[in-house]
Amino acid sequence: MRHLYCLLFALFACSCVRAQSPTFSFLTAEQNEFVAAELRRLTLKQKAGQMTQVAVDLVFEGQTYVLTVPPVFSDERLNHVIGEREIGSILNVPSRSIPTPAEYREYIGKIQEKAMQTTGVPVLYGQDAIHGANYVRGSTLYAQPLGVAASFNTELATELASLTAYELKAASIPWNFSPAMDAGRHPAWPRTWECFGEDTYVNQQFGLAALRGYQGDGVNGKNNVVACLKHFTGYGATASGHDRTPAYLPERQLREYYLPQFQAAIDSGALTVMINSGEINGIPVHTSKRLLTDILRDEMGFEGLLVSDWQDVRYLYERHHVANDLKEAVRMAIDAGMDMSMTAVTTDFPDVVVELVQEGQLTEGRIDTSVARVLAVKVALGLYEQHLWEPEEFPEFGGQRFARKAQQSAEEAIVLLKNDGLPLPIDPEQRILVVGPTADNMRSLNGGWTYSWQGQEADRYLQDHNTIREAIQKQFPGRVTYAPGATMDSLQDVATALSLARESDIIVLCLGESSYTEDPGNINSLVLPSVQRRLFDELHAVGKPIVLVMAAGRPRLMTSMANRSRAVLFAPYPGPYGGDAIASVLAGRVNPSGRLPLTYPRHPNALVSYDHKATEARNGGYNPLFEFGYGLSYTDFVYSDLRLSSRVMNPQDTLEVSLRVTNEGQRAGKHSILLYTSDLVASVTPSVQRLRKFTKVHLEPGENEVITFRLTPADIAFIGRDDRPTTEPGTFRISIGNLTEEFDFEAR
């Protein structure tokens, strides 16, 4: 295909009329020329097609989401979508199916063949592979992002993303709508678990780690895919806690919490970004020129492809009521800066674009800018040369190496929140009752985007994996009885559960949530449903020690139950190996090392994050059940010798912060060390603390390690009164565990 570039290059080099085309720093000069040549070659209609993305259901028999089982590919529909409409991008999985890599290879092959015959431009195929290639049969699934964040292990996050990329490529899918770097600031938000928790820095670090894994050293690598940062921006700032509901973000908040993670990933070469479906300050983000062009492009320097979220152009008039009709909506979104419309279920978008240009409401130059970005990503991926991969070239697909990482991700996701009087690890001689609505299903361990959007098929596809009940029965053979006690909606044969409880020494009570995402996951109360509370009360009355396992995607309130339990584990969707991981922690085969990537609230009306202001903490305002960063181990990690390389930091300085971590307990273990800073006095009320660095170590009993963090002035900057990043002279406190030291920043 290289010769095709050269030929086109030569042809157009001779032409005296040279159309203006954007150039991309991530492409070579030759590739930029190729993009320019493609722009000159394509018709307006074809360009409009390049700006369109539809669901793959549209090339199968049936209707979106109600395809026949098994899905039947339709040549006629392919001819419509690719042959006639000349659409340039496809997403998703054929609904109600989970194709194997070979099946993907076959139908994507037909799509690509048609595209190459029609426009000569390969299709860009994208999917949400957010915890492994979760729409590819036989692939490996990992902990969900919130669970990965709980590991505080960014190396692991990179490995998981790179394995995900491998298994996507095995299915000829080169574009992944991940990572979500939203920073979920409302604990009830049904997508809290899809991002890396409440903290901007954690979202940034894990987003960068995932980006490294997906894109590798270059997106055209055989085992790499293009990442898609989402959802730009402020999606996790919903005021109500319901999905796609308004956020109100003053400039300072926007810049402090919702831009830095995207900026870092753009600087690290992220090639695509997805737009937040919601509205900020009354402006649907899909119509915000300020966010999508002035800030994202001009200020943050994003050069790549900006894709809408699902049907969001249509929603501008159907839901947001800022446009009268589709035409006005399309114009608004393109004016704002969108390059590709995830039109999803209809094929009308290209026609509207053409009409708008013909009527002079949009210029062809504006269309060219977006199409160039679409083509640039296709060129960067090398899709013109290769757009299909043979499954046999990915011999490790679904293999042991991947499974081991999945298991590690589950183990490091588990957070031990309480272990009073050390009931854990459970003595193997004890008789254990396993009970509760999350004890015996895979949905509560895997969450949404697991073989389907809402994850409701998890039990069917993950039969080979152990639920919590199965795993505990395997870890403690002959010692375990089980009764569900309740479903998610109602109590179920509590009498049996109670009589088994009376015959047991310890009760492992598994509560929490099923799988969900987006609107279907909205809740009107963070309080755990009354069915679960009643089950707890009944079992508690038996008087046996309770180990509470909270398997959930967000911090469902459990205050009184946690207080009455001897031990509490939080399992934030640890994935298919979650049951094994929980059982291994209970048995002491795994020493828990997860830490909370969010604040676990105590009360329904006190949803205050860890980086709150001092005034929010007055009069008991900040008194979470468990703090951000909290997590216990079976061994004792002791900090000592906190030292700063200087007591003074100047603008050009790097301050070294070192400390010794010693495993003073009897067991080997992993442990994350979290460094916070506090700005003692600032011109904008400072947060009481901000997480600035973290790292994870593994220490044998008696072993110690000296850790060194490096802080620069950027690490202690904040968004000032002028809404710009600023560092002010003053005293800063560094806290790591119970150790603190102070230094002065001097603006010399």
Name the residues that contact ligand BGC, by CB under 6 A. 91-92, 128, 177, 230, 274, 277, 309-310, 518
Extract the tokens encoding 134. Answer: 């979760």
In this structure, how many other beta carbons lie within 10 angstroms of the beta carbon of residue 442? 26
Alpha carbons 687 and 667: distance in angstroms, whole number: 36
The residues that bridge with 217 in the sheet, in sequence order, are none
Q: Given the complex with ligand BGC, which of 230 and 418 has the nearer CB atom?
A: 230
Q: How far is the CB of 685 from ligand BGC (least distance, A)?
A: 33
CA 237/CA 173 separation, integer angstroms: 31
Measured from the CB atom, is 230 or 566 closer to ligand BGC?
230
Alpha carbon dihedral 312, 318, 319, 322, in 10-degree steps, equals 90
Distance CA 173, CA 394 (A): 13
Q: Is the Cβ of residue 232 or residue 610 nearer to ligand BGC in the bound state? A: 232
Handedness of CA 586, 592, 594, 600 (dihedral sign): positive
- The answer to whether 274 touches 307, Cβ cutoff 8 Å, is yes
Minimal distance, residue 191 CB to ligand BGC, in Å: 8
Structure tokens at 623: 């008194």
- 672, two tokens: 């994350």
Amino acid letter for position 71: P
* C-alpha distance from residue 144 to each of 195, 268, 501, 571, 634 (Å): 8, 23, 32, 10, 24
Q: How near is the Cβ of 312 to ligand BGC at its closest, in Å?
A: 9
Min dist CB 311 to ligand BGC, Å, is 8
CB of 231 to ligand BGC, least distance (A): 6
Residue 620 backbone class (left: φ over 0; alpha: ψ -120 to 50; beta: rest) = left
Q: What whole-number distance in Å separates Cα of residue 742 and Cα of residue 646?
A: 10
Residues 353, 347: Cα–Cα separation, whole Å? 12
Nearest to ligand BGC of 256, 309 (CB atom): 309
Q: Which is nearer to ligand BGC, 128 or 412 (CB)?
A: 128
User: 99 or 425, CB closer to ligand BGC?
Assistant: 99
CA gap 583, 551 in Å, rounded: 13
A 10 A CB-CB count for 271 gives 24
Q: How far is the CB of 518 from ligand BGC (least distance, A)?
A: 6
Least Å from the CB of residue 36 to ligand BGC: 30
Nearer to ligand BGC by Cβ, of 91 and 323: the residue is 91
Angle at which helix 364-380 crosses helix 29-41, to 10 degrees, equals 130
Cβ-proximal residues to 349 (8 Å cutoff; 6+ apart), any chain: 48, 51, 52, 313, 330, 341, 343
Residue nearer to ligand BGC on the CB measure, 228 or 675:
228
Distance (Å, rounded) from C-alpha 568 to C-alpha 508?
10
Residue 230 or 465: the one with the smaller Cβ distance to ligand BGC is 230
Among residues 518 and 705, whose Cβ is nearest to ligand BGC?
A: 518
**Would strands 690-699 and 648-649 be described as parallel, antiparallel, or unpaired?**
unpaired
Pick 128 or 440: Cβ nearer ligand BGC: 128
- Give the closest residue to 580 by CA, choosing from 475, 429, 506, 676: 475
The residues annotated as belonging to the active site are 309
Least Å from the CB of residue 319 to ligand BGC: 13
CA distances 287 to 173, 243, 290, Å, are: 29, 19, 9
CB of 189 to ligand BGC, least distance (A): 12
CB of 100 to ligand BGC, least distance (A): 20
Instruction: Please state, in angstroms and rounded to a whole number, the distance separating the CA atoms of residues 168 and 344.
Output: 21
Count of residues for the chain?
A: 748
Least CB distance from residue 576 to ligand BGC, whole Å? 21
Compute φ and ψ for 80, nearest 5 degrees. -70, -50
- Give yes or no for a contact between 367 and 353, defined as CB atoms under 8 angstroms apart: yes
Nearer to ligand BGC, 273 or 716 (CB): 273
- Tell me phi and psi for residue 398, to 5 degrees: 65, 20
Relative to beta strand 415-419, strand 491-492 is unpaired
| Cα–Cα distances in angstroms (integers) from residue 367 to residues 327, 348, 456, in the given order | 15, 16, 40
- The least CB distance from residue 158 to ligand BGC, in Å, is 21
Beta partners for residue 697, in sequence order: 671
For 596-658, give the DSSP string: -SS-B-SSTT----TT-BHHHHGGGT---SB-TT--B-SS-EEEEEEEES-SEE-TT--EEEE
What is the three-state SS of 339-393? CEEEEECCCCHHHHHHHHHHCCCCCHHHHHHHHHHHHHHHHHCCCCCCCCCCHHH
DSSP SS3 for 162: helix
- Considering the complex, what minimum distance in angstroms separates the CB of residue 718 from ligand BGC? 30
Q: What is the CA radius of gyration of the chain?
A: 26
Q: Which is nearer to ligand BGC, 243 or 256 (CB)?
A: 243
